[in-house]
């Protein structure tokens, strides 16, 4: 078959959903070391590795779903940085979470273009369907509801993101239907 | 229910009506009676079958045949052929509408494409596609025949100004960075396009990444930098991936790396992904973030050209600025300066959003006025509604009312009108928009994104948001407007960076142009646009057929009523989510 | 991908790229382009792309080139698919869901019939 195609693969997930359980110290350490190897593998001394701090934290955040306290301790050890400083960086960025998150992270674009084309109703329906407020995680550990800043696809707004799947042109009536796809 | 073997849908849009659609319909019915087919074929009204240019038009189902350009005299023949003999009357079949690339690709009226010229045309993941469109020809010209000074001279002469919003002349920036003695020097591309509703950079990065790379390499040559960073927000995963592919391909061709094209000039680029902080679009905050710190801005001077990334001379430009560079080098400064106004040259991309017929990205020459953009490029307001305001420049921009529509779009005119060019957000709002709600909305955004480093922005925006919130909730007090004005003034003048300095703009501009709406909320406890939840009530009127759809969809069970009877909303339970209104098929839910 | 070492080589490379592009449009090949910007993906372009590839495979079609491109600026009509057969003008379809994609593959790509009802009308 002479089909010449450009590879089409999934976009890099913004959020990966790990099985929800408490990570053991070994698992956290392994995740930290793997992240450092991936992101700062070439650098040998801790000072050089520090330039890669945010990519390293993002990497761990992706593997573990959030940044547990033990991760800060381990990163601090490897990069020779105080935990307070690491926490200060992590707490600054919206995508780095210091709290455990649900298996599925639902993000809703709260920006003006989505707001004026019916986003408000979708947001209300979403909170109602999940029985969660912004930033909350359901007690069963299944869902976390978050708002996201504009992802730039306003012409297909309102926009809803579940894990790495992006849904455009969402209506309030579709909310439960979309959520039902996730177990 | 009666069964018909065929349904004829006749377009009754104004244009078809003006061409006699109703006469055609009557003739159809008469002819069907005459030929004894009226029990088998039903004639119905519909709209928008085609573009009405060759009306009257109709569709016949189940065959799905589209007839157009019919007159009353054609009907007997059509009925006989199609419904009696069962043959398609070929001579009336509407020609298939094939739109060629030239018609579509799509410069709307008054659009000029420089930055977006390749978007949607080339495969962004194939460098050869870009090269075939004169890609890297500017780099070839620069490395083959121009000195760094000549490059800067060309950019200066073109009049190109920063497309990130502030509008600083790009050539001057490059001059400063070139003049700095320290090494190494860095080039940064600000791709942290965080303004809600603005996605022109996303489109360039996803659709034509090499134009940005080429612009950066040329800039790097001009200022004497050896390394570049593209700081892209994490909300753009597709753009990040496309950029990485583009960089790998450029490296494989040797267009990035050591000794580019045998010129002795070496330059490489790396992508850095943000982690979700709007303020990182501010240049000093952006550099802090690349260095692995909290993305907080710092006072300037020193400017990045003197002391930037890791304390070294750094040049920062926006995606769109870089994407303009190869074109300027290839076609000449004179060509570029031929577009725009005296002080604002070239084109600008805008992200059209909101209540207009055509949303999406556009690229127009600077100097065009707002009216042309809204009514010619964006094809007017949706659903025939009235325009209320245009919000330009993102969350730090202002809202302009109709009176400003004839102002030209250039850096100076927009600033004088109380808004900013910003990165190019362009949100059009119709009469159903509440301006207090919009102001509250933007304030919520900037308040949330304030990094907290300086007090006016951290505390001031919070106070403003609280006041706006209570006005929207129906608890506004006498004196709130004056307090807002006072806060606007001080936050603007005392904040550390552009975020705080611009944060009051939406409030200040709506106070100026839509003060009566604030007053209605505060003094009459009324939201004129019927948007603010605290000031509205949903009611079901007589049009209700008792279909129960609203009651079944109400998330809080606030609607009661028997089947086929008028339903009632309990205002004490109702959360004013509006779902009932959206699902009602009979327009029986109204806002009071 | 061999490295380009001089200005001369870059010029040659550009010539080749232009020739290659010309050859593609004159040889009678079918080129299908799916807009895969974030807007397209949000509107379902990934499913559309899968349907296109699936149809090619299921019907053993040859001489079909599938490409992707970025956002073409008509986000509200995404997913957008462009079909170009040989030297004929490019036809751009809007709101191409999976069913439409399959229909386009069967009727236009194989059957040569433009599905005018899905074609984006020029403004």
Q: Which residues fall within 8 angstroms of residue B477, CB to CB, at 6 or more apart?
A: B470, B522
Q: Are A133 and A124 in contact (CB under 8 A)?
A: no
Residue B194 above 80 pLDDT? yes
What are the E-state strand segments in B309-445?
314-318, 347-354, 360-365, 387-392, 399-401, 425-430
Task: Locate B256 and state its tokens.
Answer: 């990035």
Pair of tokens at residue B229? 């960073």
Q: Is residue B121 part of a domain?
A: no
Give chain C's domain count.
1
Q: How far apart are CA C80 and CA C61, in angstroms?
A: 21
Task: Tell whether the model's pLDDT for residue B276 goes beyond 60.
Answer: yes
Q: In this complex, is the C-beta atom of B51 within 8 Å of any C-beta atom belonging to chain C?
A: yes
Asked if residue C15 belongs to a domain, the reply is no
Nearest CA-CA distance, residue A47 and chain B, Å: 11
Phi-psi map region of C108: left, alpha, beta (phi>0 left; psi -120 to 50 alpha)? alpha
Q: Which range, of B173-187, B324-338, B351-365, averages the lowest pLDDT?
A: B351-365
User: Would you give the DSSP letter of residue C89?
Assistant: P
- Nearest residue, CB atoms, A155 vs list C36, C65, C76: C76
Residue whose entry in the numeric block shows the structure tokens 């010449």: A4
**B103 contacts in chain C (CB < 8 Å):** 122
Task: Please indicate whether, in this complex, the C-beta atoms of C43 and A6 are within 8 angstroms of each other.
Answer: no
Enter the pTM of the model: 0.79
The candidate with the shortest Cα–Cα distance to C11, out of B118, B253, B140, is B140
Q: Are B92 and B55 in contact (CB under 8 A)?
A: no
| Residue A73, min C-alpha distance to chain C (Å) | 37
How distant, in Å, are the alpha carbons of B13, B125, B297, C56 from that of A5?
A: 43, 11, 44, 11
| Structural domain includes residue B210 | yes
Are B14 and B81 in the same domain?
yes
In total, chain B counts a number of residues equal to 592
Q: pLDDT tens, B226-255? A: 999 999 998 898 899 999 999 999 999 999
Residue B100 tokens read as 């060629």
- How far is residue B32 from each of residues A155, B82, B85, B93, B276, measured CA to CA in Å? 45, 11, 13, 20, 65
Please state, in angstroms and rounded to a whole number, the distance separating the CA atoms of residues B533 and A90. 36
Q: Is the CB of C23 inside 8 Å of chain A's CB atoms?
A: no
B214 token code pair: 């080429």
Question: CA of C11: which chain B residue's CA is closest?
Answer: B137
Residue B441: CB atoms within 10 Å: 22
| Distance in angstroms (rounded) separating the CA atoms of residues B516 and B525 | 12
C-alpha B520/C-alpha A36 separation (Å) is 58
ipTM attached to this prediction: 0.82
Looking at residue B39, which CATH number applies to its domain? Answer: 3.40.30.10
3-state secondary structure B102-132: HHHCCCCCCCCCCCCCCCCCCCCCCHHHHHH
Inter-chain touch C69–B120, beta carbons under 8 Å: yes
DSSP bridge pairs for C69: C35
A173 close to B (CB below 8 A): yes
Domain extent, residue C110, equals: 27-118
Residue B108 lies in a domain: no
Residues of chain B with Cβ-Cβ distance to C120 below 8 Å are 99, 104
Residue B1 in domain: no
Mean predicted confidence (pLDDT) in B468-492: 96
What are B408-462's pLDDT values in tens digits?
A: 999 999 999 989 988 788 889 999 999 999 999 899 989 988 999 999 999 999 9
DSSP 8-state code for residue B10: E
* CB crowding B141-155: b at 16 or more within 10 Å, else e: bbbeebebeebbbbb
Question: For B502-537, how does the pLDDT look when each residue is reduced to its tens digit (9 = 90+)?
Answer: 999 999 999 999 999 999 999 999 999 999 988 999
The first and second tokens of residue C68, run together, are 């992707």
Kindly state the average pLDDT of the residues B146-154: 97
Domain at C55, CATH number: 3.40.30.10
d(CA B135, CA B175): 25
Residues of B with Cβ-Cβ distance to A120 under 8 angstroms = 578
- The answer to whether the Cβ–Cβ distance between C68 and B362 falls below 8 Å is no
CATH number at residue B483: 1.20.1440.230
Dist CA B44 CA B11 (whole Å): 9
Please indicate whether, in this complex, the C-beta atoms of A50 and B292 are within 8 angstroms of each other.
Answer: yes
Residue A115 per-residue DSSP state: I
B195 has pLDDT over 90: no
Taking only the tens place, the pLDDT of each residue in B277-308 is: 889 999 999 999 999 999 999 998 999 999 99
Top mean pLDDT of B44-48, B118-122, B186-190 is at B186-190
Position C8 in a domain: no
Task: Compute the count of residue pairs across chains A and B with CB atoms less than 8 Å apart.
Answer: 141
Q: Same domain for B359 and B420?
A: yes
- Chain C, nearest residue to B51 by Cα: C121
Query: Domain-by-domain residue ranges, chain A?
Result: 25-92, 104-179
Domain-embedded: residue B424: yes
Specify the higher pLDDT residue, B352 or B510.
Answer: B510
Among the candidates B37, B71, B92, a domain finishes at B92
Interface test with C, best of B54, B120, B249 (most C CBs within 10 A): B120
- Check pLDDT > 70 for residue A12: no
Query: Using the 8-state DSSP alphabet, how is residue B382 labeled?
Result: G
Residues of A within 8 A of C37 (CB-CB) are 153
Q: Which two tokens stand for residue A136?
A: 């909350």
Per-residue pLDDT band at B107 (split at 50, 70, 90): low
Decide if pLDDT at A16 tops 70.
no
Structural domain that includes position B302: 127-337
B531 within some domain: no
In a domain, B218, yes or no: yes
pLDDT of B49: 65
Half-sphere exposure of B77 (CA within 13 A, CB side): 10
> Which residue of chain B is at minimal alpha-carbon distance from A8?
B125
Residue B204 near residue B115, CB atoms below 8 Å:
yes
- For C39, the closest chain A residue by CA position comes to A153
β-pair type (A143-148, C91-93) = unpaired
Domain count, chain B: 5
B182 and B84, same structural domain?
Answer: no
- Range of lowest pLDDT (B2-11, B51-60, B475-484, C38-47): B51-60
**Closest listed residue to residue B414, CA positions, set B439, B438, B392:** B392
Spell out which residues of chain C touch residue B121, defining contact as CB-CB under 8 Å.
Answer: 69, 72
User: Is residue C6 situated within a structural domain?
Assistant: no
* Stretch (H or E) spanning C30: strand C30-35
Asked whether the beta carbons of residue B249 and residue C1 sit closer than 8 angstroms, the reply is yes
CA of A5 vs chain C CAs: smallest distance (Å): 5
Please indicate, yes or no, if residue C21 is contained in any of the structural domains: no
The answer to whether A61 touches A89, Cβ cutoff 8 Å, is no
Whether B434 and chain A come into contact, CB under 8 Å, resolves to no
pLDDT of residue C89: 80
CA distance B279 to chain A (A): 10
Burial class (CB in 10 A: 0-12, 13-18, 19+), A131: exposed
For residues B241 and B234, the answer to whether their CB atoms sit within 8 Å is: no
Q: Enumerate the β-bridge partners of residue C30.
A: C64, C85
The single residue listed with the structure tokens 């002479």 is A2
Reported as a pLDDT band with limits 50, 70 and 90, residue C70 is confident
Name the region of B510 (left: φ>0; alpha: ψ -120 to 50; beta: rest): alpha
Rg of chain B in Å (alpha carbons): 29
Any CB–CB contact under 8 A between C85 and chain B? no
Point out the residue among B289, B354, B579 whose CB comes nearest to the CB of A121.
B579
Query: Where would I find the beta strands (DSSP E) of B319-463?
Result: 347-354, 360-365, 387-392, 399-401, 425-430
Distances (CA, A) of A64 to B10, B168, B173, B508: 59, 43, 43, 44
CB contact under 8 A, B255 and C4: yes
Of B425, B457, B436, nearest to B510 by C-alpha is: B436
Fold for the domain defined by A104-179: Glutaredoxin (3.40.30)
Of C71, C74, C90, the CB nearest to B206: C71
CB contact under 8 A, B577 and A58: no
- DSSP three-state, residue B62: coil
- Distance CA(A115)–CA(B576), nearest Å, equals 15
Please indicate, yes or no, whether residues B184 and B333 belong to a single structural domain of this protein.
Answer: yes
Instruction: Confirm whether C14 is domain-assigned.
Output: no
Domain identity same for B150 and B252: yes
Q: How far apart are CA A15 and CA A159, in angstroms?
A: 16
Is C50 among the domain residues?
A: yes
- Of the candidates A2, A4, A151, the beta carbon closest to that of C38 is on A151
Residue identified by tokens 């142009």 is B513
Please state, in angstroms and as integers, the Cα–Cα distance from residue B435 to each residue in A111, B225, B357, B388, B520, following that order.
Answer: 15, 47, 21, 9, 11
Tokens of B323: 């994407």
- Whether A4 contacts chain B with CB within 8 A: no
> Which chain C residue is nearest to residue B263, measuring alpha carbons?
C6
Query: Is B195 in the same domain as B333?
Result: yes
Confidence (pLDDT) at A86: 95
- Please answer yes or no on whether B275 and A95 come within 8 Å at the CB atom: yes
Above pLDDT 90, what percent of chain B? 62
Residues 119-178 of B with CB under 8 A from C: 119-126, 128-129, 131-132, 134-137, 140, 143-144
B409/B362 Cα distance (integer angstroms): 14
B155 and B179 housed in the same domain: yes
Question: Does C41 contact B at CB distance below 8 Å?
Answer: yes
C-alpha closest to that of C74 among B551, B308, B106: B106
Whether residues B359 and C76 touch (CB distance < 8 A) is answered with yes
- The answer to whether the Cα torsion of B247, B251, B255, B257 is positive or negative is positive
Cα–Cα dist B532/B480, whole Å: 17
Query: Would you call A94 and B125 a contact, using CB atoms and an 8 Å cutoff?
Result: no
**Neighbouring chains to A with at least 3 Cβ pairs closer than 8 Å:** B, C
CB neighbours of C82 closer than 8 A, spacing ≥ 6?
Answer: C31, C32, C33, C34, C35, C69, C90, C91, C92, C93
- pLDDT exceeds 70 at position B344: yes
Nearest chain B CA: its distance from A22 CA (Å): 24
Side-chain half-sphere exposure of B310, counting CA atoms within 13 A: 16
Residue B109 forms part of a structural domain: no
How far is it, in rounded angstroms, from Cα B351 to Cα A156?
13
Burial A31-49, CB ≥16 within 10 A → b, else e: bbeebbeebbeeeeeeeeb
Based on the domain organization, do B399 and B285 belong to the same domain? no
């Amino acid at each position: 078959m002479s089909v010449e195609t450009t590879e089409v693969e999934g976009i890099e997930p913004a959020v990966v959903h790990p099985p929800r359980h408490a990570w053991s110290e070994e698992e956290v350490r392994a995740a930290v070391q793997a992240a450092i190897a991936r992101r700062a593998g070439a650098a040998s001394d801790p000072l050089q590795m520090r330039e890669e701090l945010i990519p390293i934290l993002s990497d761990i955040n992706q593997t573990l779903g959030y940044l547990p306290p033990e991760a800060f301790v381990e990163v601090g050890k490897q990069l020779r940085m105080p935990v307070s400083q690491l926490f200060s960086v992590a707490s600054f960025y919206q995508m780095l979470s210091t709290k455990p998150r649900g298996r599925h992270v639902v993000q809703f674009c709260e920006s003006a273009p989505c707001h004026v084309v019916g986003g408000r109703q979708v947001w209300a329906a979403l909170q109602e369907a999940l029985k969660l407020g912004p930033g909350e995680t359901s007690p069963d550990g299944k869902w976390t509801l978050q708002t996201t800043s504009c992802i730039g696809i306003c012409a297909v707004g309102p926009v809803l993101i579940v894990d790495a799947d992006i849904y455009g042109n969402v209506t309030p009536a579709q909310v439960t239907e979309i959520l039902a796809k996730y177990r | 229910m009666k069964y018909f073997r065929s349904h004829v849908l006749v377009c009754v849009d104004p244009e078809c009506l003006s061409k006699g659609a109703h006469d055609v319909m009557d003739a159809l019915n008469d002819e069907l009676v005459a030929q004894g087919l009226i029990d088998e074929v039903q004639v119905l009204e519909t709209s928008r079958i085609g573009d009405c240019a060759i009306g009257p038009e109709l569709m016949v189902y189940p065959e799905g045949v589209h007839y157009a350009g019919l007159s009353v005299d054609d009907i007997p023949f059509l009925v006989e052929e199609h419904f009696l003999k069962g043959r398609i009357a070929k001579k009336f079949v509407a020609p298939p509408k094939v739109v060629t690339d030239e018609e579509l690709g799509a410069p709307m009226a008054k659009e000029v494409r420089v930055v977006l010229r390749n978007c949607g045309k080339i495969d962004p993941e194939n460098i050869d596609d870009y090269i075939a469109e004169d890609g890297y020809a500017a780099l070839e010209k620069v490395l083959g025949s121009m000195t760094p000074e000549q490059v800067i001279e060309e950019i200066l002469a073109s009049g190109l100004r920063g497309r990130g919003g502030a509008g600083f002349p790009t050539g001057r920036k490059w001059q400063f960075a070139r003049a700095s003695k320290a090494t190494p020097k860095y080039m940064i591309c600000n791709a942290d396009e965080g303004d809600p509703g603005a996605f022109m950079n996303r489109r360039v990065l996803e659709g034509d990444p090499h134009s940005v790379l080429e612009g950066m390499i040329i800039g790097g040559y001009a200022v004497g930098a050896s390394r570049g960073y593209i700081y892209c927000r994490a909300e753009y995963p597709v753009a990040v991936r496309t950029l990485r592919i583009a960089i790998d391909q450029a490296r494989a061709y040797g267009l990035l790396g050591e000794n580019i094209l045998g010129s002795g000039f070496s330059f490489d680029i790396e992508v850095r992904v943000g982690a979700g902080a709007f303020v990182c679009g501010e240049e000093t905050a952006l550099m802090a973030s690349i260095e692995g710190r909290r993305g907080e801005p710092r006072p300037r001077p020193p400017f990045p050209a003197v002391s930037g990334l890791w304390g070294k001379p750094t040049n920062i430009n926006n995606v769109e600025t870089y994407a303009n560079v190869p074109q300027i080098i290839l076609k000449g400064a004179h060509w570029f300066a031929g577009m725009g106004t005296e002080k604002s040259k070239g084109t600008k991309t805008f992200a059209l959003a909101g209540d207009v017929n055509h949303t999406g990205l556009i690229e127009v020459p600077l100097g065009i006025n707002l009216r042309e953009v809204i009514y010619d490029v964006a094809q007017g307001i949706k659903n025939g509604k009235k325009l209320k305001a245009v919000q330009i420049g993102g969350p730090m921009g202002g809202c302009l009312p109709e009176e400003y529509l004839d102002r030209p779009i250039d850096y100076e005119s927009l600033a004088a009108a109380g808004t900013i060019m910003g990165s190019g957000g362009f949100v059009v709002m119709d009469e159903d928009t509440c301006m207090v709600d919009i102001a509250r909305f933007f304030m919520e955004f900037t308040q949330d994104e304030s990094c907290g480093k300086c007090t006016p922005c951290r505390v001031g925006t919070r106070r403003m948001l609280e006041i706006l919130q209570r006005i929207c909730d129906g608890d506004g007090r006498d004196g709130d407007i004056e307090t807002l004005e006072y806060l606007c003034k001080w936050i603007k003048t005392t904040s550390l960076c552009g975020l705080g300095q611009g944060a009051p703009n939406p409030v200040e501009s709506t106070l100026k142009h839509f003060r009566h709406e604030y007053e209605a909320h505060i003094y009459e406890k009324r939201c004129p646009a019927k948007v603010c939840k605290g000031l509205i009530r949903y009611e079901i009127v007589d049009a209700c057929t008792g279909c129960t759809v609203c009651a079944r969809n109400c998330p809080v069970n606030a609607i009661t009523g028997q089947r086929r009877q008028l339903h009632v909303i309990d205002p004490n339970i109702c959360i004013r989510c509006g779902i009932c209104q959206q699902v009602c098929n009979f327009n029986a839910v109204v806002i009071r | 991908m061999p490295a380009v070492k001089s200005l001369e080589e870059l010029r040659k490379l550009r010539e080749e790229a232009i020739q290659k592009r010309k050859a593609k449009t004159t040889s009678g090949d079918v080129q299908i382009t799916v807009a895969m910007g974030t807007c397209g993906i949000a509107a379902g372009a990934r499913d559309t792309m899968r349907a296109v590839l699936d149809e090619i495979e299921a019907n053993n079609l040859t001489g079909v080139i599938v490409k992707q491109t970025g956002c073409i600026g008509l986000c509200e009509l995404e997913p957008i698919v462009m079909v170009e057969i040989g030297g004929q003008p490019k036809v751009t379809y809007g709101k191409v869901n999976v069913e439409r994609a399959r229909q386009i593959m069967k009727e236009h790509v194989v059957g040569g019939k433009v599905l005018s009802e899905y074609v984006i009308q020029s403004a």
